[in-house]
Amino acid sequence: MGMVLNQSLGYYAAATTTASNMALITSLVPLLAVFISVPLLGKRISGLSIVGGVISLAGLAFMLGQGDVAFFVHQDVSQGDGLMVLAAVVYATYCVLLKRWKMQLSSWMLIYTQGVFAVIMLFPLLLTSHQVMPTQASLPLIAYAGLLGSLIAPLLWVKSIDLIGADSSAMFMNLLPVIAVALAGMLLGETITQFHLIGGLMVISGVILSQIKTRKMQPTTEGVAQNLTIDKQ
């Protein structure tokens, strides 16, 4: 789900849809993870998580649509959009199952095992490619994707799910478009508009809101003792 279906669906989707649509649909992962956690993990959906997810999604739509939150409604749904929706569902389920089926393996061993099975399952796709051998220009991109994208990032992702849970970890995926815009401005010289600033602020606010844990007030031992003393008096 994580290294085969999700990534493969994303690559195939990129051929028939836009990068903006891909980023927006990917932002559905946190909301999907929250709802999938209900039957698989027995968790309750908190109101703050729902509100935070909606705010983050609205911020992404505002940023990508340059102020038009419903811009994606007026566009035709392409095959790539459908593939990205399926990829979002697959990856959200993957995140939740990492928490449900917690194996007694170290994070490095878990990533290594997933990588081995991914190579085996992706090998038939390699044989169907028109060009099997990589070009000289593609080697740096392959090195980046293999080391940072397929090793370091999944390792950090598995560790985060282990520490804070699937639904909370998935919320941070909404930061990806915001970080991408910031890097584009610094490295590529692209102009950062007010839509990026307002939408990014909404995304970050939604992520922070979703992390707030509500706790019921419980009487302390000292408080109970004081109440008993007052009752006796």
* H-state helical runs in 42-165: 47-64, 79-100, 107-127, 139-144, 153-164
Q: DSSP for 161-225?
A: HHHH-HHHHHHGGGHHHHHHHHHHHHHS-----HHHHHHHHHHHHHHHHHTPPP------HHHHH
- Tell me the mean pLDDT in the region 23-48: 78
Is the pLDDT score of 114 beyond 80? yes
Domain total in the chain:
1
Helix (H) or strand (E) holding 4: none
pLDDT in tens, 125-135: 888 877 777 78
pLDDT band of 90, cuts 50, 70, 90: very high
pLDDT at 120: 93
Q: Is 11 exposed, middle or buried (0-12, 13-18, 19+ CB in 10 A)?
A: exposed
| Mean pLDDT for all residues in the chain | 76
Q: Which domain holds residue 117?
A: 5-232
**Rounded mean pLDDT of 136-163?**
82
| pLDDT over 80 (residue 75) | no
* Type of residue numbered 45: I
Q: Residue 68 — pLDDT band, cuts 50, 70, 90?
A: confident
